[in-house]
Amino acid sequence: MREFLSKIIQTPRLLTPTRHIMQQLPELEVIGSALQDNVRRLFKGSLAIRQIDTGSDNATEQELAALTNAYYDIERFGIHFVPSPRHADMLLVTGPVTRNMAEALKRAYDATPHPKLVVAVGDDAIGGGIYKGSYAVLDGVSQVIPVDYQIAGDPPSPLVIMQSLLAILDGAKKAPKQKGQS
C-alpha cells in the first residue's frame, strides 16, 4: 500500500504539456470565429450535422466526438450534431460503407432536406482505406451517394476537421446551391 501511495505522490499532476495546448488555442479561436461567422451567414446561426457511421473502425468517430468536448466545444460556434437526418444541413459520413449499411446510408441521404452537404470524413469513407477491395465493403461513400466534399486523414484530427469545415463553408458561401439541388 505504501508503494502505491508513493507512486501516486510522485506522479506529476499535469501529464499534458501546457505549452502544446496554449500554442493551439489561438488557432482554434481564429478558426472557430470564422466558422461562427459563416454559420450565422449561411445557416441563420446554427449548422446541424448528422454523423453516419457506415462501418468504420471508430477512430474517426472518436475525433468527431472530441469536437464536442470542453477543449474544442464546437457548439459554441453554432455547430451541433443532431440525431436525425431530417433535421440536418450536413451529413458527415465515416467508414468504407459496408454492404449492410448501404441502404441505411441511402435512406439517411433521402431523408435529409435540400439543400444538403455530404462530406466523406477519413480515408475509409473517401476510397475504402485499408478495407478497399474487400468483399464486404463498397469502397467509399461516393459509390452509394453523391459526395460534395472530402476530409482526408486516418483519422483526421479535430483541428483538421474544423479547418476543413471552414473551407467547406467558405466554398458554400461562394457557390450557393440552388433549392432542390443535391
pLDDT, residue 164, reads 93
The span from the CA of 15 to the CA of 24, in Å, is 17
Give dist(CA 140, CA 129) in Å, integer. Answer: 8
Q: Which three cell numbers stand for residue 181?
A: 439541388
Residue-averaged pLDDT of the chain = 85
CATH of the domain at 162: 3.40.50.12280
Residue 72 lies in a domain: yes
- The 10s digit of each residue's pLDDT in 141-156 is 999 999 999 999 988 9
The pairing of beta strand 117-121 with beta strand 79-81: unpaired
Q: Which of 182, 109, 105, 90 is nearest to 137 (CA)?
A: 105
pLDDT above 70: percentage of residues in the chain: 84
Q: In this structure, is residue 42 part of a structural domain?
A: yes
Range of the domain at 38: 14-174
pLDDT at 182: 42
The model's confidence at residue 13, banded by pLDDT at 50, 70 and 90, is low
In a domain, 74, yes or no: yes
Of 79, 56, 75, residue with least CA distance to 165: 79
Asked if the structure places residue 145 within a domain, the reply is yes
The total number of structural domains that make up the chain: 1
Nearest-angstrom CA–CA distance, 36 and 30 = 10
Is residue 30 included in any domain, yes or no? yes
Specify the pairing of strand 149-151 against strand 90-94: unpaired
| Of the listed ranges 1-5, 11-15, 62-66, 75-79, the one predicted with least confidence | 11-15
Alpha-helix runs per DSSP H in the chain: 2-10, 18-43, 59-66, 102-111, 123-127, 158-174
CA distance 52 to 29: 27
77 located within any domain: yes
Could you read off the pLDDT of 27-58 as tens digits, one per residue? 888 888 898 999 999 888 899 999 999 998 89
The Cα–Cα gap between 164 and 177 comes to 19
User: Is there a domain that residue 69 lies in?
Assistant: yes
156 in Cβ contact with 60 (< 8 Å): yes
The pLDDT of residue 11 is: 63
Structural domain contains residue 181: no
